[in-house]
């Protein structure tokens, strides 16, 4: 059985970059989420997300097709169940890059999941990164900062490991070290 690895962190903490770095170094099954958010210009269907509408998302919920799902900033995001369970059963480690509420659901359902929270060195850095990304409007930055403050407060209750992403390569190495040393889990 593979391990279920959850990486969470406020928008702008750089968890996407950490995950991209890990994927270059290691063999994971990366879970592609479904979302009702509209695709950004550089995003591709089936690579970054499955972009579906709210009706379809609600049908997936009703059918029990999500391992976890949550509403984040007005949009729904969820982890398709089947691909994850199949990859674990095939002995592959599975990486989920998800927000806090979903991470809590995974923690409750799979207590042996490896839970990692990525934080920015401080909130000013976070805001600078969000604004610097260029694809996020001001009001959206404000909302994401508000969510970030909340997530950072809650994180110690949910996660086994908190990694500060100041220098990207160092953060990637630190997460790699956590994965090398943690036992992970057996899944039914
Ligand atoms: P974004 O809109 O920036 O792509 O993602 C917003 C937030 O939703 C990020 O924190 C991202 O990690 C999270 N997210 C992406 N996919 C999922 C998912 O399947 N489930 C949950 N709970 N959160 C997700």
Quick check: helix, strand or coil at residue 119?
A: strand
Decide whether any atom of ligand 1 lies within 6 Å of the 33 Cβ: yes
| Residue 109 and residue 84 in contact, taking contact as beta carbons nearer than 8 Å | no
pLDDT tens, position by position, 170-182: 999 999 999 999 8
**Which of the 8 DSSP states describes residue 32?**
P
Cα(38) to centroid(ligand 1), Å:
13
CA distance linking residue 162 with residue 8, whole number of Å: 10
For residue 132, the model assigns a pLDDT of: 87
CA distance linking residue 8 with residue 103, whole number of Å: 7
Confidence of residue 133 (pLDDT cuts 50, 70, 90): confident
Crossing angle (nearest 10°) for helices 138-158 and 100-109: 20
Quick check: helix, strand or coil at residue 99?
A: coil
Q: Is the pLDDT of residue 184 over 70?
A: no
Structure tokens at 34: 């479904």
- DSSP-assigned letters across all residues of 52-85: --HHHHHHHHHHT-EEEEEEETTEEEEEEHHHHH
Structure tokens at 5: 């690895």
Which ligand 1 atom is the nearest neighbour of the CA of 48?
A: 4
Sheet with 49-51: list strands edge to edge: 49-51, 33-35, 75-80, 66-72
Sequence length of the chain is: 188
Tell me the pLDDT of the chain averaged across its residues: 93
121-146: average pLDDT: 88
Cα(77) to centroid(ligand 1), Å:
6
Q: Which residues contact 169 (CB under 8 A, 6 or more apart)?
A: 21
Ligand 1 atom 22 nearest Cα: 102
pLDDT tens, position by position, 85-112: 999 999 999 999 999 999 999 999 999 9
């Amino acid at each position: 059985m593979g391990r279920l690895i959850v990486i969470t962190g406020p928008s702008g903490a750089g968890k996407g970059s950490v995950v991209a770095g890990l994927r270059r170094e290691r063999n994971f099954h990366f879970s592609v989420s479904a979302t009702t958010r509209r695709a950004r210009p550089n995003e591709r269907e089936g690579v970054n997300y499955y972009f579906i509408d709210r009706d379809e998302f609600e049908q997936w919920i009703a059918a029990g097709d999500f391992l976890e799902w949550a509403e984040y900033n007005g949009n729904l995001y969820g982890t398709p169940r089947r691909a994850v369970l199949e990859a674990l059963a095939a002995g592959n480690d599975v990486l989920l890059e998800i927000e806090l509420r979903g991470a809590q659901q995974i923690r409750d359902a799979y207590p042996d999941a490896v839970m990692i929270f990525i934080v920015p060195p401080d909130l000013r850095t976070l805001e600078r990164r969000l604004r610097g990304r260029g694809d996020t409007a001001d009001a959206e930055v404000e909302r994401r900062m508000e969510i970030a403050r909340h997530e950072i407060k809650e994180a110690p209750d949910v996660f086994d490991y908190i990694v500060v992403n100041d220098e990207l390569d160092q953060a990637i190495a630190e997460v790699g070290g956590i994965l090398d040393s943690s036992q992970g889990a057996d899944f039914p």
